[in-house]
Amino acid sequence: MFTMRVYPVISLILLFACSSLPAEQIYISPEKNIQEKLQETLILAQPGDEIILAAGIYEFTDGLSLDVDNIKLSGAGHEKTILSFTGQITGAQGLLVTSDNVVLKDFAIEDTKGDGIKVKGSNGIYFLNIRTEWTGGPKATNGAYGLYPVESKNVLIDGCIAIGASDAGIYVGQSENIVVRNSRAEYNVAGIEIENSNHADVYNNLATHNTGGILIFDLPYLPKQGGHTIRVFGNQSIQNDTPNFAPEGNIVGEVPMGSGVIVMASENIEIFNNEIGDNATVNLAVVAGEDSDDPNYQKFPKRIQIHDNRFGPGGFDPDERGDLGPILVEIVSTNIPDIMWDGVLPFWQYLFGQPTDEKLVIDGNGDATFINLDAFWYVVLPYFHQPETDINDFSGNISPLPAVKLVFPD
Amino acid sequence: MLFFAALFTFSDTHSSVNDEAILSEKFPIKLSTYGFFDNLAQQQPKLGVLPYNLITVLFSDYADKDRFVYVPSAKKAHYVEDSVFDFPVGTALIKTFSYSQRISDSDVVKELIETRLLLRKIDRWETLAYVWNEEQTEAYLKVGGKTVNTHFTDSTGQNRTVRYRVPNKNQCKECHASGDSIVPIGPKPRNLDKDYDYPKQTMNQLVKWSQMSIIDGYPKSVEPVADFTDLSKDIEARARAYLAINCGHCHSPKGSASSTGLYLNYSEQRPKQLGILKPPVAAGRGSGGLNYSIVPGDPDASILLFRMISDDPAIMMPESGRSMVHQEAVALIYDWIERMEGEAR
């Protein structure tokens, strides 16, 4: 449905953008000196041009970058046009995009030393049927991110595949107006991560065999904070069973193996119609962010709505790595309910209660089980600590969040 | 009469630099087209093309750099606080990268690798790199970057090999970007405030630039940055000077690394933004299993140092512009962090 609307708009923009120069189609195929050839093409391209990469394996020793607006870079399919960085010597990523209205379509980026595709500060970036993969399977020496838009607006990730990232396969950070759909993330530490971003729709994706399937995080000390208004729906986050292989020091290094969906900090999050199961630590967790001395950081999750999800088996063998796992095991032992909230609130709310409109709402999730760890009282008054397990205490009316509308810049 | 004499001097001085080439949107293929040099191969500048140096410089794999500034006659650059001079349209900043190899005690061979230009067009700065030919007679425009494998003799007399990368046009932007525009990095008043051995006399560069009417003045209160190699200077000042010129152009609120929240520009004073006990954000393997950018008193636990020591592209900082480790800077930053006081972790 979106696709139908998206394409005519893009082509219109491309037509307008090149009113002075006729748009060109530039054909590239694997050849000697492809590094310089493709990089020069990416630099000399004019707005409106389409760069077409023929099927084949392209080998690079250095990172590539694109800084021209209104460019389409397309291959012959994500299993046919393969940009291989096995022999990469320089460059923190395979491809860096820093311009607006860029379409990346139908190719694969393999085995980069750092990130796969990083996009920074772009307005209008479209990843269509792109694959990023580390072909040697999950390894700590793999690059951090597969698809990595940051500080961007109007981000579409559609029909993509991300495999083997040592941080997140699909990672959208400090961005707004985001759609991630019809994509597959597997054998990454985090499958799909939306971090410090607002207005995102994550739907119809499959996250499997990651350490954690889908993460909605908000972190301190960043220029853009206060992630909010994110819908996660119609996804499958199942059997995330790859041991955490992230280098220490990274936040995802804390994610226990077998996490389906984790919401950390963040506000206005709606999680519905997902299938979440076979996750050994916990199917769905809502937790507060870590303590920080950042005065702008809002560490408590607010207005989180969880409804109409289907849960399979979960929490049957919690991973005790990181911060969360050991606490879970200590409080709950080894049978973690489907939905877990750490129950951490601002101190005054323990005394006066949480404002009604900020409360967690859980409704219509079939026979899902629940626990409020009430972690604060567990620490303060362990003898009197009684975790709450009645899911019905959290039922309520759902206020649906609006769909994300991608806006195409001029 | 005096007026005409001055005019004559100006036109004579500058007549031979090709102002049109600097402004042209069709970039010349050859460096010689600009007419910056009397002797291109010897890098002898024309009158009006003034050589200069910076107090603390960007590390580029131990390459030597010769810098020149050209401001068209009757125009001047203006002072801007905490910034590079605001150069007028038609300005050229010229930087030639070279390596020297000692063949014998009396024979040192200098190999010119590339000459980078920052040209002040009517609406923007343009970055261009010209790569020298093997004969060392001309340099040719290269927008897509190039790898040059070569050798040089280091300060200890060792012969070393280097895989030098001429940056592509986008890589120029990675460092020179500020928001949506390209800006020069080096010629800030505080980094120019030192003596230079001009052919006829030794003189403070800012004084010379004023005399030459390249700039229209500068406040006397300019505090020069520390030379990071000058052991007589305070280590804090040396470290901050080094980090500012080597990291601070990207690691600043408007730079390419804005999203990291780690800011190493000269004016940054907030401890967390400077990396003190700041957790990494999207460092991936770059974290090296460490938890903070800087742990006061513990350089080995500091990501900042770890990334300076690495030459792995997924880990090393800066991301581009070096393939070797800057040992002298690593030693400085090690000392700086080790002597830093702060809460123990």
pLDDT in tens, B26-39: 999 999 999 999 99
Does residue B257 form part of some domain? Answer: yes
Claim to verify: residue B335 and residue B206 sit in the same structural domain: no
Residues of A in contact with B170 (CB under 8 A): 42-43, 65-67, 96, 98
Structural domain contains residue B229: no
pLDDT of residue A377: 76
Which residues are bridge partners to B149 per DSSP? B163
Which residues pair with residue B64 across a beta bridge?
B98
Among residues of chain A, what percentage have pLDDT more than 70? 94
> Which two three-digit tokens encode residue A187?
């054998």
Least confident range of A13-27, B143-157, B249-263: A13-27
Average pLDDT over residues A177-181: 98
User: Which of A38, A39, A252 to mutate to probe the B interface, most B CBs <10 Å?
Assistant: A39
Q: Is A141 in the B-facing interface, judged by CB distances under 8 Å?
A: yes
DSSP string, B265-295: STT---TTTTTBTPPPSS-GGGGTT-SBSB-
Residue B9 in tokens: 């001097």
Q: Is B314 on the interface with A (CB under 8 A)?
A: yes
Residues B248 and B203 in one domain: no
- In angstroms and rounded to an integer, the radius of gyration of the C-alpha atoms of chain A is 22
Which pLDDT does position A105 carry in this prediction?
Answer: 98
Residue A288 has pLDDT above 90, yes or no: yes
Architecture of domain A114-394: 3 Solenoid (2.160)
Which pLDDT score is estimated for B179?
80
Q: A143–B284: do the CB atoms touch at under 8 Å?
A: yes
Residue-level pLDDT at B256: 86
pLDDT at position B343: 53
User: Is the dihedral angle over the CA atoms B197, B201, B204, B210 positive or is it negative?
Assistant: negative
- Predicted confidence at residue B174, as pLDDT, reads 83
Which of A5-14, A139-148, A194-203, B188-197 comes out lowest in average pLDDT?
A: A5-14
Q: For residue B12, is it within any domain? A: yes
Helix, strand or coil, per DSSP, at residue A185: strand
Number of Cβ within 10 Å of residue A347's Cβ equals: 8
B160 shares a domain with B84: yes
Q: Provide the pLDDT confidence category of residue A21 given band limits of 50, 70 and 90.
A: low
DSSP string, B325-345: --HHHHHHHHHHHHH------
CA distance A10 to A236: 30
Report whether pLDDT(B325) > 90: yes
In angstroms, the Cα distances linking B129 to A220, B28, B151, B321 are 39, 11, 21, 13
Q: Is residue B135 part of a domain?
A: yes
C-alpha–C-alpha distance, residues A133 and B275, integer Å:
32
B129 and B242 co-located in one domain: no
pTM of the entire predicted model: 0.88
The type of residue at B91 is T
Distance CA A186, CA A210 (A): 5
Instruction: Using the predicted structure, report yes or no on whether residue B233 has a pLDDT greater than 70.
Output: yes
Note whether B289 contacts A: Cβ–Cβ < 8 A: yes
- How many angstroms separate the most distant Cα atoms in chain B? 73
Confidence at A14, pLDDT banded by 50, 70, 90: very low
Residue reference for tokens 């494998």: B149
Place of tokens 């590079």: B84
* pLDDT above 60 for B7: no
Q: How many other C-beta atoms are found inside a 10 Å radius of the C-beta of residue A27?
A: 11
The predicted-structure confidence for A308-363, as pLDDT tens digits, reads as follows 999 999 999 999 877 777 877 887 777 899 999 999 999 899 888 899 999 999 99
List chain A residues with CB under 8 Å of B176.
Answer: none
B161 and B26 in a single domain? The answer is yes
Residues B23 and B76 in one domain: yes
Chain A, residues 187-246, CB within 8 A of chain B, namely 219, 221-224
Confirm if A189 and A211 have CB atoms less than 8 A apart. yes
Length of chain A equals 410
Residue A109 phi/psi, 5-degree rounding, is -120, 125
Condensed to tens digits (0 to 9), the pLDDT of residues A86-144 reads: 999 999 999 999 999 999 999 999 999 999 999 999 999 999 999 999 999 999 999 99
Asked if B290 lies within 8 A of A248 by C-beta distance, the reply is yes
Q: At what angle do helices B169-176 and A34-44 cross, to 10 degrees?
A: 60
Q: How far apart are CA A197 and CA B284, in angstroms?
A: 19
Model confidence pLDDT, tens digit, residues A231-283 = 999 999 999 999 999 987 788 888 999 999 999 999 999 999 999 999 999 99
Provide the residue range defining the domain that includes B71. 2-211
Query: Any idea which residue has 């024979």 for tokens?
Result: B107
Check whether residue B202 and residue B290 sit in a common domain.
no
Among A182, A118, A105, which Cα is nearest to A144's?
A: A118
Cβ pairs bridging A and B (under 8 Å): 130
The more confident residue out of B116 and A383 is: B116
For residue B218, being part of any structural domain is answered with no
Taking alpha carbons only, the member of A198, A188, A200 closest to residue A161 is A188
Is B169 in the same domain as B273? Answer: no
pLDDT of residue A4: 41
Identify whether the C-beta of residue A258 lies closer than 8 Å to the C-beta of residue A239. Answer: no
Domain C-terminal end among B211, B226, B261: B211
Count: domains in chain B: 2
pLDDT averaged over every residue in chain A: 91
Q: Interior CA angle at A359 toward A312 and A382, to 5°? A: 80
Strands B92-104 and B107-120: antiparallel
| CA-based nearest residue to B314, from A119, A61, A93 | A93
Under 8 Å between Cβ of A149 and A123? no
CB-CB neighbours of A342 under 10 Å? 23
Q: Which tokens sit at A195?
A: 């971090």
Considering the domain architecture, whether residues B206 and B322 belong to the same structural domain is answered as no
The mean-pLDDT minimum among A15-19, B51-55, B150-154, B293-297 falls in A15-19
Average pLDDT estimate for A8-34: 67
Confidence class for position B103, pLDDT limits 50, 70, 90: confident
Same domain, B159 and B201: yes
Q: What is the mean pLDDT of residues B213-219?
A: 91
Query: Shortest CA distance to A246 belongs to which of A210, A299, A197?
Result: A210
Every domain of chain A and the residues it spans = 114-394
| Whether the predicted pLDDT of B344 surpasses 80 | no
Measured over the CA atoms of residue B152, residue B157, residue B159 and residue B160, the dihedral's sign is negative
Residue B228 domain flag = no
Mean pLDDT score, B241-251: 94
State the CB neighbour count (10 A cutoff) for residue B228: 26
Note whether ipTM > 0.90 here: no
Choose the final residue of a domain: B163, B195, B211.
B211
A10 has a pLDDT exceeding 80: no
What is the torsion angle, in degrees rounded to the nearest 10, for the CA atoms of residue A84, residue A87, residue A93 and residue A97? -50
Q: Which of A6-15, A116-125, A401-410 has the highest mean pLDDT?
A: A116-125
Which of B170, B279, B314 minimises the CB distance to A67? Answer: B170
Is residue B76 situated within a structural domain?
yes
Same domain, B284 and B154: no
pLDDT at A153 over 70: yes
CA distance B257 to B42: 37
Closest-CA residue of chain A to B261:
A222
A91 and B256 in contact by Cβ < 8 A? no
Comparing alpha-carbon positions, the chain A residue that sits nearest to B174 is: A98
Residue B284 to residue A40, Cβ atoms within 8 A: no
Residues 6+ away with beta carbon under 8 Å from A8: none
